[in-house]
């Protein structure tokens, strides 16, 4: 019985901390002891924007036109499309744009995945700053300026912008969960460094770029790598990128499973907890490790809860809460359904990772182009 009670209260406490206690503590700490970034709004370093693409014929022309129209000196901006063995018309369309616009370059890479294509592209550029974007994203005209302003701070090595989710009809599709995550990311940035970025809009000094395993993603691996090197990874909410959201819960679930597979790979093989300052280590454990383990924690909590039922009123209350959450998700309550979907995806992703590892390549989610 003591073991079951330890499992119950430990799981409940960990879930409460990662989802409520830590975000509140981070928000308070960021207000009390913020660490401002010394930005230079007039900074205009030479920048290469790298777009890794695999079979992106439906969006690649629009992506290039958007990047070429950014509010940034033309002579200091280059766009490189690293085509990951595209079998459609992606390469043809990029070359057509490159014929009339010398700032555009195509790199035809063998199939190796997004990170492998990005690694090769960085090797073949000499710009002071490298920025990265997905093929289906659209940047605001001033997005690049906001990114590079942060890199003028000698302590900052990496900066990511704010991804906004917008449906084809122009409606905003950012749910409560997403807004909550962006608020937490902003608090972490004010404290020193974020624990995760996004692949749609980010930049770093060319000298700070590190080649990581092709099965990893930059989103999770770059921030902690920068901190391990004694630098900062920050968030710039004024640098906006737009993307279409996944159209269905089923598509979003598959996307989350794939994403969490890579998160488990980095967490378990990426030396994620080594050589980190104590404060940042707390952030990584609280926001990343416990969040990725939330599905396992929920299963442990439920199993211990059932075994302990009748041993005290608290166990009945907690079990009722778990049943209510599942019932709300089954009934289609948006926040409950999304939470259960994401939480279960962490469990499936861990199982997939343990039984077969993580592939470096994947296909774009349906409906996001």
Q: Are 234 and 185 within 8 A, CB to CB?
A: no
The reported pLDDT for the residue numbered 252 is 86
Q: Are 66 and 99 within 8 A, CB to CB?
A: no
Please tell me the chain's helix, strand, coil percentages from 3-state DSSP, rounded to the nearest 5: 55, 15, 30
Q: Which of 152, 230, 222, 154 is nearest to 194 (CA)?
A: 222
- Take residue 259 and report the two structure tokens written for it: 């994403």
73: phi then psi, degrees, rounded to nearest 5: -55, 125
- Cα 302–Cα 305–Cα 308 angle in degrees, nearest 5: 155
How many separate helices (H) and strands (E) can be counted in the chain? 14, 8
- Cα 195–Cα 199–Cα 202 angle in degrees, nearest 5: 75
> Tokens 């070429």 label which residue?
68
Q: Which of 219, 207, 221, 115 is nearest to 157 (CA)?
A: 207
Go through 151-176 and write b for each residue having 16 or more CB atoms within 10 A of its CB, e for each that does not: bebeebbbbbbbbbbeeeeeeeeeee
Domain spans of the chain, in order of start: 1-32+256-369, 47-245
- Take residue 211 and report the two structure tokens written for it: 């080649």
47-245 folds as: Spore Coat Polysaccharide Biosynthesis Protein SpsA; Chain A (3.90.550)
C-alpha to C-alpha distance for 105 and 102, rounded to whole angstroms: 7
Residues 6+ apart with CB under 8 A from 128: 45, 46, 47, 205, 206
* Per-residue pLDDT of the chain in tens (369 residues, 90 and over written 9): 789 999 999 999 999 999 999 999 999 999 999 999 999 999 999 999 999 999 999 999 999 999 999 999 999 999 999 999 999 999 999 999 999 999 999 999 999 999 999 999 999 999 999 999 999 999 999 999 999 999 999 999 999 999 998 765 544 455 788 889 999 999 999 999 999 999 999 999 999 999 998 888 899 999 999 999 999 999 999 999 999 888 777 888 999 999 999 899 888 888 888 899 999 999 999 999 999 999 999 999 999 999 999 888 999 999 999 999 999 999 999 889 999 999 999 999 999 999 988 776 766 655 555
C-alpha to C-alpha distance for 211 and 234, rounded to whole angstroms: 20
């Amino acid at each position: 019985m003591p073991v079951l009670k330890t499992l119950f209260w430990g799981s409940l406490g960990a879930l409460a901390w990662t989802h409520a206690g830590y975000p509140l503590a981070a928000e308070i700490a960021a207000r009390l002891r913020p660490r401002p970034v010394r930005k230079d709004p007039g900074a205009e370093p030479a920048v290469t924007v790298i777009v890794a693409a695999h079979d992106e014929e439906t969006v690649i022309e629009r992506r290039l036109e958007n990047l070429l129209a950014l509010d940034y000196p033309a002579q200091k901006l280059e766009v490189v499309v690293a085509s990951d063995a595209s079998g459609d018309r992606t390469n043809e369309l990029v070359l057509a744009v490159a014929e009339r616009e010398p700032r555009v370059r195509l790199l035809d890479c063998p199939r190796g995945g997004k990170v492998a294509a990005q690694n090769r592209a960085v090797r073949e550029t000499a710009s002071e700053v490298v920025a990265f974007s997905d093929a289906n994203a659209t940047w605001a005209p001033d997005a690049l300026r906001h990114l590079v302003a942060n890199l003028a701070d000698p302590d900052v090595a990496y900066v990511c912008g704010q991804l906004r989710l917008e449906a084809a009809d122009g409606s905003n599709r950012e749910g409560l969960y997403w807004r909550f995550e962006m608020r937490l990311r902003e608090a972490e940035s004010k404290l020193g460094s974020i624990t995760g970025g996004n692949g749609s809009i980010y930049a770093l000094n060319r000298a700070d770029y590190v080649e990581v395993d092709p099965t990893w993603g930059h989103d999770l691996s770059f921030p902690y790598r920068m901190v391990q090197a004694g630098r900062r990874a920050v968030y710039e909410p004024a640098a906006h990128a737009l993307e279409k959201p996944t159209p269905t819960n089923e598509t979003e679930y598959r996307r989350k499973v794939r994403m969490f597979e890579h998160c488990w790979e980095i967490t378990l093989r990426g030396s994620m907890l080594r050589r980190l300052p104590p404060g940042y280590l707390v952030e990584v454990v609280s926001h990343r490790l416990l969040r990725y383990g939330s599905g396992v924690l929920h299963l442990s909590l439920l199993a211990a809860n059932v075994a302990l039922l009748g041993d005290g009123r608290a166990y009945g209350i907690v079990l009722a809460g778990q049943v209510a959450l599942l019932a709300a998700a089954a009934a289609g309550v948006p926040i409950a359904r999304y939470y259960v979907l994401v939480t279960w995806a962490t469990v499936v992703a861990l199982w997939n990772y343990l039984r077969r590892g993580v592939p470096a390549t994947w296909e774009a989610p349906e409906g996001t182009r």
